[in-house]
Amino acid sequence: MKRIFVACGSGVATSQTVASKVQSMCEDENLDVSVEAVDFKSLENIIDQCDIYISIVSEKDNNWNVPTIKGIPFLTGIGMEEEFEKLKDLIKE
């Protein structure tokens, strides 16, 4: 099972919306994942516990050693299919 974190400022509204959408899309594809919404402040301490990170905030220089997917497309629907394809590829690795 791949563990996915979705982070926003508070870990409540935006990240929870994206996490729910991603979890549902993955279930529809029978992908074995756990998707968790977290707050951005906690991310530094827990990033090593996930396999894939979905970023809601704009990060120019991400120093995480974790594959990162853009989260905004899951919120707006614009570019969502492309990001989901990237996510599926990472899950299947």
Q: What is the CATH number of the domain that holds 47?
A: 3.40.50.2300
> Do the Cβ atoms of 54 and 69 come closer than 8 Å?
yes
Work out the number of other CB atoms within 10 angstroms of the CB of residue 48.
9
* pLDDT (0 to 100) of residue 41: 87
* Residue 58, pLDDT score: 65
pTM score: 0.90
pLDDT number for residue 38: 92
* Largest Cα span, the chain: 32
**56, 71 Cβ separation under 8 angstroms:** yes
pLDDT at position 40 is 84
How many domains is the chain built from?
1
Task: Return the pLDDT at 23.
Answer: 98
The low-confidence residues of the chain, meaning pLDDT below 50, are none
Predicted confidence at residue 62, as pLDDT, reads 66
Domain residues for 82? 2-92
